[in-house]
Amino acid sequence: MDASPASEIALPGLPNSLELSRDGNIAILRLTRPEKRNAIDNAMIEGIDRVFSSLPSDIRAFVIHGEGEHFCAGLDLSSLTETDAYEAVLHSRTWHAAFNKIEKAAMPVIAVLHGATVGGGLELASSAHIRVAERSTFYALPEGQRGIFVGGGASVRVPKLITLARTMDMMLTGRTYGAEEGVTLGFSQYLAENGQGLAMAMDLARKIASNAPLSNYAVLHAMPRIAESQDEAGFFIESLMSAIASSDKDAKDRLRAFLEKRAPKVTHNG
Ligand code: 1HE
């Protein structure tokens, strides 16, 4: 992976395993623990939680990526050996809290995947809104082989991407999937050449950041709730969200720009 561009966002107390920067109105979080394949320890979870609690308000899109040969090897297994059941529940809840902040962020989050995207690494990836997978990416849920169970949200989020049956098969048999298959199955929305994932994600982030912030917010916060609602409630939420979005000044300016032929048309390059 290329080094990220951009200026650092100062967030005191962030562990050395995380690097936060910005490029214009796009924030970039880099997992910087390649010697442990970006395995996630408590300091990283606390750091991720803090990053998503303290973002500058002008950030319009967010990109997460990892240093080294792998996006993320999941939970740092050395941190679980001495915990009892109660501590383990609380530990899992810290992951849920951090990853829920990603999923419920005010701005879209794009994860750039490469190499191992396994266990908690897949849980981190699946809490993002868009995944760009380089060809080297492979997915696994090896918790069963380690004698444990997923604890960072995989049981909720991964079935929404690839179906419950496939998720259970991965958990039971240790089955892995690669990047090409992964884009067909729903692990990622985009496939990138090795080394090109960050550039692709930054292009997507720039497109996203050029939308009206309220439109993006509506997509992130209304769509999942509508998907989990009865149709009638969904239609009603849609109407309310639509009315709120179209009454925003940004919407009025953009609609006028189109009608006055100052805005680009929709094009398709096949
Ligand atoms: C680690 C971890 C880790 C690597 N915790 N230390 N996750 C797993 O079960 C995946 C475990 N990891 C692997 O299968 C492999 O390391 C990889 C396929 C990711 C990469 O292989 P490779 O050959 O590039 O690296 P390596 O030589 O295996 O690892 C390099 C170092 O990273 C080595 O430490 P070293 O001190 O010997 O140099 C590894 O021990 C260390 N390392 N992965 C701790 N995960 C909230 S619940 C979530 C539950 C889970 O995520 S379970 C899945 C855990």
Q: What number is the average pLDDT over the span 103-110? A: 98
Residues 221 and 142 in one domain: no
The pTM of the full predicted model, rounded to 2 decimals, is 0.96
Q: pLDDT (tens digit, 9 = 90+) per residue, 144-172? A: 999 999 999 999 999 999 999 999 999 99
Q: pLDDT (tens digit, 9 = 90+) per residue, 50-104? A: 999 999 999 999 999 999 999 999 999 998 777 899 999 999 999 999 999 999 9
| CB of 45 shorter than 6 A to ligand 1 | no
Residues 155 and 227 in one domain: no
Residues 108 and 129 in one domain: yes
Residues 136 and 239 in one domain: no
Q: Check pLDDT > 90 for residue 18.
A: yes
Closest CA to 119 of 95, 90, 152: 152
pLDDT at 81: 73
- Residue 198: count other Cβ atoms within 10 Å of its Cβ: 23
Total tally of structural domains belonging to the chain = 2
Identify the CATH number of the domain in which residue 192 sits: 3.90.226.10
CA of 145 to the centre of ligand 1 (A): 13
Distance CA 189, CA 133 (A): 8
Residues 202 and 249 in one domain: no
Identify the CATH number of the domain in which residue 240 sits: 1.10.12.10
Report CA Rg, the chain: 19
Domain final residue pick, 209, 229, 248: 209
Ligand 1 atom showing the smallest separation from residue 152 Cα: 46
Q: Check pLDDT > 80 for residue 208.
A: yes
In one letter, which amino acid is 149? F
Residues 140 and 243 in one domain: no
Within-domain flag for 270: no
The pairs formed by 83-87 with CB atoms below 8 angstroms and a separation of 24 or more are none
Largest CA distance in the chain: 66
Residues 17 and 147 in one domain: yes
Q: Check pLDDT > 90 for residue 2.
A: no
Q: What residue numbers bound the domain in which 139 lies?
A: 7-209
What 3-state class would DSSP assign to 177? Answer: strand
Distance CA 208, CA 214 (A): 12
pLDDT at 5: 55
Within-domain flag for 269: no
Q: Please choose from 37, 49, 138 the residue to mutate so as to test ligand 1's pocket, defined by most ligand atoms within 8 A of CB.
A: 37
H/E element, 8: strand 7-8
Residues 130 and 251 in one domain: no
Residue 11 makes CB contacts below 8 A (sequence gap 6+) with: 20, 50, 51, 54
Q: Which residues pair with 134 in a beta bridge?
A: 192
Determine contact, residues 125/144, Cβ cutoff 8 Å. no
Residues 168 and 239 in one domain: no
Residues 218 and 205 in one domain: no
Residues 226 and 200 in one domain: no
Domain final residue pick, 175, 192, 209: 209
| CB of 99 shorter than 6 A to ligand 1 | no
Distance CA 23, CA 209 (A): 12
